Amino acid sequence: MSFSGRFPLLLKKEPAMSSKNRPLVVGNWKMNGSRAALGELVAMGKGFDGALRSKIDLVLCPPMTHVALAAQAAVGTGISIGAQNCHAKVSGAHTGDVSAEMLADIGATAVMVGHSERRTDYKEKDADVRAKAEAAQRAGLMAVLCLGETKAEREAGKALSVVRRQLKDSVPANMPAHQLVIGYEPVWAIGTGLVPTAKDVEEVHALIRGDLKRLLGKEEGSKVRILYGGSVKPSNAAELLAVDNVDGLLVGGASLKAEDFLTIAGFYR
């Protein structure tokens, strides 16, 4: 299930050619990090130089407790800060929750919704994910909407139908392209070191692109950035970002260290 060096070096020469949308690399720190770890963000900011900034967007999503600190630390670096979740409502009796408006208030410009770990741990359904994406839109944030099939679903030949259902049921009908990013993350590839073949990634991303055009209209649908996520590493990033309709990458573990994250983003130079 891995690339195993199948793709020739020529893809590395012109990775951005595979996408007409401005590339985006998102880092998801999950429940990792500390105040001290924000030093990695500072290092990322130093490495995100003018040349790279002119080519790609970079977003880092630390844990909720560190979003405000990260937003302050990121000022002037060109890196945008996002959260990993939000509540669908603006405010109210929802102990422990945080609204999209609150995130915007502390300097976040993006929020992940529908990550598979939230779908699993908190039983979030497509309708919940859609409500959170609507909240992001309402608050002026960019929603990074995650979806992807489980191992059992892929093995049963249901990967494409699952992804299509998640997309149809979780993308708000009037979502503008600049506020929507789709993160295709096969659940079996997250944190496992397993990566789908380029052919499989291409197949799913093409399908997502087609469905986005049907859902949002041809123009908006073609402008939504579609990221691949799941065991992205410096060693496989170039091959992944060369795949058609891969507008960028969603990086978990490898986003914790500035060196790895910058290496991955640096393939867009």
| Catalytic (active-site) positions | 115, 185
> Least separation, in Å, of the C-beta of 250 and ligand PGA?
5
Q: Considering only residues 148 through 207, tell me which ones interact with ligand PGA, judged by CB under 6 A.
A: 185, 190-191
Binding flag, residue 252, ligand PGA (CB under 6 A): yes
Task: Report the alpha-carbon distance of residue 231 to residue 186 in Å, rounded.
Answer: 10
Residue among 40 and 216 whose Cβ is closer to ligand PGA: 40
Task: Give residue for tokens 């408006």.
Answer: 101
> Least separation, in Å, of the C-beta of 119 and ligand PGA?
11
DSSP tag of 152: H
* Residues 81, 109 contacting (CB under 8 angstroms): yes
- Length of the chain in terms of residues written: 269
- For β-strands 225-229 and 57-61, DSSP reports them as unpaired
List beta partners, residue 172.
Answer: none
Binding flag, residue 232, ligand PGA (CB under 6 A): yes
Binding flag, residue 113, ligand PGA (CB under 6 A): no
Q: Which stretch in 11-19, 85-93, 156-164, 230-238 sits in contact with ligand PGA by CB under 6 A? A: 230-238
Give the angle subtended at the CA of 33 by the CAs of 30 and 35, to the nearest 5°: 140
Q: Which stretch in 82-90, 128-136, 211-219, 249-257 sits in contact with ligand PGA by CB under 6 A? A: 249-257
> Least separation, in Å, of the C-beta of 8 and ligand PGA?
25
Binding flag, residue 242, ligand PGA (CB under 6 A): no
Task: Report the alpha-carbon distance of residue 54 to residue 139 in Å, rounded.
Answer: 26
Binding flag, residue 253, ligand PGA (CB under 6 A): yes
Task: Report the alpha-carbon distance of residue 167 to residue 208 in Å, rounded.
Answer: 8
Binding flag, residue 251, ligand PGA (CB under 6 A): yes
Q: Considering only residues 20 through 79, tell me which ones interact with ligand PGA, judged by CB under 6 A.
A: 28
Residue among 62 and 229 whose Cβ is closer to ligand PGA: 229
* Residue selected from 114, 229, 248, 266 as contacting ligand PGA according to rule CB under 6 A: 229
Task: Report the alpha-carbon distance of residue 209 to residue 129 in Å, rounded.
Answer: 19
77 phi and psi angles, rounded to 5 deg: -90, -15
Structure tokens at 19: 């996408």
* Residues 48, 261 contacting (CB under 8 angstroms): no
Residue among 135 and 190 whose Cβ is closer to ligand PGA: 190
- Residues in touch with ligand PGA (CB under 6 A): 28, 185, 190-191, 229-232, 250-254
